[in-house]
Amino acid sequence: MLNGRRGNVKVDYWTPENTDAKYPRPGALASGDNPKYGSTLGYFDASYLKIRTISLGYNFDNMEWLKSAGVSRLRLYATAQNPFVLFSPYHKESGMDPETNSFGDQNAAVPLSGNLRRILTLGTNAPATRAFIAGLNLTF
């Protein structure tokens, strides 16, 4: 019954001295070592803004110095994939991408019924990767 273990986990919960806390005051024990309302610590504000792809490019056409080098066309470009997650309390707290990346049947410890199998869930099995690509296209 959490005897001697209360307060071992550092959580910003409400107390009379900490009235602007992030989480509500924990309740009594529901059963065994399970604090009442303890599962609410797993809920986050799900709002976020994610930039998936940014591409920038420039064409150098009709430049004399290109023609003298034997190049008829030059293009420089750069692309960033998944560069930012903005305005996400979940990302700020955990550092993880808040976008769902799996279905309920891929994360569950036990098989889910047919109607729950396709529920989108936040899976930590394959977070989105960040990539930066730069390139140069030359036409002779």
Nearest to 89 by CA among 38, 121, 46, 51: 46
d(CA 97, CA 88): 9
d(CA 25, CA 126): 34
pLDDT at position 87 is 87
The model scores a pTM over 0.85: no
- Burial of 97: CB neighbours in 10 Å, binned 0-12, 13-18, 19+: buried
What contacts 63, CB < 8 A, 6 or more positions away? 74
- Helix, strand, coil percentages in the chain from 3-state DSSP, rounded to 5: 15, 35, 50
pLDDT at position 14 is 78
pLDDT at position 92 is 79
Whether 26 and 37 have beta carbons less than 8 Å apart is answered as yes
Q: 77-111: per-residue pLDDT in tens?
A: 999 998 988 888 877 777 777 776 655 555 555 56
Nearest to 46 by CA among 104, 84, 92: 92
